[in-house]
Chains A and B, each alone.
Chain A
Amino acid sequence: MSDQSESTGGLTFDKSKRNWPNELNVFGALILIVIIFEILGAIFMGQSLLFDTNDRFESIFNEARLRIIIIQVAIIGILALGVTQVIITAGIDLSSGSVVGATAMIAMSFVQVAEVNGGPNPKAIFGPAFLDLPVLVPVIVGISVGLIAGCINGLLVAYSRIPPFIATLGMMLFARGVAQWWSLGNPVSFPTESYAKIGAGMMPVIIFLSLAVLFHLIMNYTVYGKHTYAIGSNEAAARMSGINVPRHLMLVYMIAGGLAGLAAVILTSKNLTAQSGMGLSYELEAIAMAVIGGVSLFGGRGSIIGTVIGALIIGVITSGFTFLRLGAFYQEMVLGCIIVGAVALDQYQQKRAAMRA
Chain B
Amino acid sequence: MSDIILETKGLTKHYGGVHALQDADFVLKKGEHVAIMGDNGAGKSTFVRQITGVEQRTRGTVIFDGDEVNFAGPLDAREAGIETVFQTLALADDLNVPDNLFLGREKTKLNWLGPFRLLDYKSMREDTMAGLVKTGVKIPNIKNTIANMSGGQRQCVAIARTATFASKLTIMDEPTAALGVQETAQVENIIRTLKEQGESLILVSHNMRQVFDLVDRIIVFRRGRMVANLRKEDTDGQDVVAYITGAKTGAEYEGAA
Query: Does B73 have its Cβ within 8 Å of any Cβ on chain A?
Result: yes
A226: B residues at CB distance < 8 A: 95, 99, 103, 106, 119
B143: A residues at CB distance < 8 A: 19
**Residue pair A223, B117 in contact (C-beta under 8 Å):** yes
A356 to B145 alpha-carbon distance, docked (Å): 13
Residue of B nearest to A353 (CB): B147
B89: A residues at CB distance < 8 A: 237
Chain B 93-121 per-residue mask, 1 if CB under 8 angstroms from chain A, else 0:
11100010001111010000101111100
A18 to B145 alpha-carbon distance, docked (Å): 9
Query: Does A243 have its Cβ within 8 Å of any Cβ on chain B?
Result: yes
**Residue pair A241, B90 in contact (C-beta under 8 Å):** yes
**Residue pair B140, A11 in contact (C-beta under 8 Å):** yes
Query: Does B62 have its Cβ within 8 Å of any Cβ on chain A?
Result: no
A9 to B115 alpha-carbon distance, docked (Å): 39
A251 to B115 alpha-carbon distance, docked (Å): 9
**Residue pair A240, B186 in contact (C-beta under 8 Å):** no
Question: Which residues in chain A, 233-255, are within 8 Å of chain B measured between CB atoms?
Answer: 233-234, 236-238, 240-243, 248, 251
Interface core residue of A7, A233, A248 (most chain B CB under 10 Å): A233
Interface size class of A (residues with CB under 8 A): 35 or more
Which of A11, A237, A240, A357 has a CB less than 8 Å from the CB of B147?
A357
Residue of A nearest to B139 (CB): A11
How many residue pairs, one in A and one in B, have C-beta atoms under 8 Å apart?
123
**Residue pair A353, B119 in contact (C-beta under 8 Å):** no
**Residue pair B94, A238 in contact (C-beta under 8 Å):** no
Question: Which residues in chain B, 167-222, are within 8 Å of chain A measured between CB atoms?
Answer: 180, 182-183, 185-186, 189
B128 nearest CB across to chain A (Å): 14
**Residue pair A10, B182 in contact (C-beta under 8 Å):** yes
B119: A residues at CB distance < 8 A: 221-223, 226
A223 to B118 alpha-carbon distance, docked (Å): 6
Query: Does B150 have its Cβ within 8 Å of any Cβ on chain A?
Result: yes
A258 nearest CB across to chain B (Å): 14
Question: Which residues in chain A, 187-234, are within 8 Å of chain B measured between CB atoms?
Answer: 218, 221-224, 226-227, 229-230, 232-234
A260 nearest CB across to chain B (Å): 20
A117: B residues at CB distance < 8 A: none
**A301-B106 in contact given A9-B152, A11-B156, A222-B119 (Cβ < 8 Å):** no
A17: B residues at CB distance < 8 A: 144, 148-149
A162 to B115 alpha-carbon distance, docked (Å): 24
Chain B 114-153 per-residue mask, 1 if CB under 8 angstroms from chain A, else 0:
0111110000000000000000011111011101111011
Chain B 59-80 per-residue mask, 1 if CB under 8 angstroms from chain A, else 0:
0000000000000011100100
Query: Does A12 have its Cβ within 8 Å of any Cβ on chain B?
Result: yes
**Residue pair B141, A240 in contact (C-beta under 8 Å):** no
Query: Does A300 have its Cβ within 8 Å of any Cβ on chain B?
Result: yes
**Residue pair A238, B103 in contact (C-beta under 8 Å):** yes
**Residue pair A242, B182 in contact (C-beta under 8 Å):** no
**Residue pair B152, A234 in contact (C-beta under 8 Å):** no
Which of A10, A218, A227, A230 has a CB less than 8 Å from the CB of B180?
A10
B185: A residues at CB distance < 8 A: 9
A216 nearest CB across to chain B (Å): 13
A259 nearest CB across to chain B (Å): 15
Residue of A nearest to B115 (CB): A224
B80 nearest CB across to chain A (Å): 12
B76 nearest CB across to chain A (Å): 8
Which of B74, B115, B145 has a CB less than 8 Å from the CB of A222?
B115
Nearest 6 Cβ contacts at the A-B interface:
A242-B75, A13-B140, A241-B104, A9-B186, A300-B94, A233-B92
Give 16 pairs: A residue, B residue, CB < 8 Å, sorted on A: A9-B186, A10-B182, A13-B140, A17-B148, A18-B148, A19-B143, A224-B116, A226-B95, A230-B99, A234-B93, A237-B90, A240-B54, A242-B105, A248-B115, A251-B115, A353-B147
List the interface of chain B (C-beta within 8 A of A): 54, 73-75, 78, 86, 88-95, 99, 103-106, 108, 113, 115-119, 137-141, 143-145, 147-150, 152-153, 156, 180, 182-183, 185-186, 189
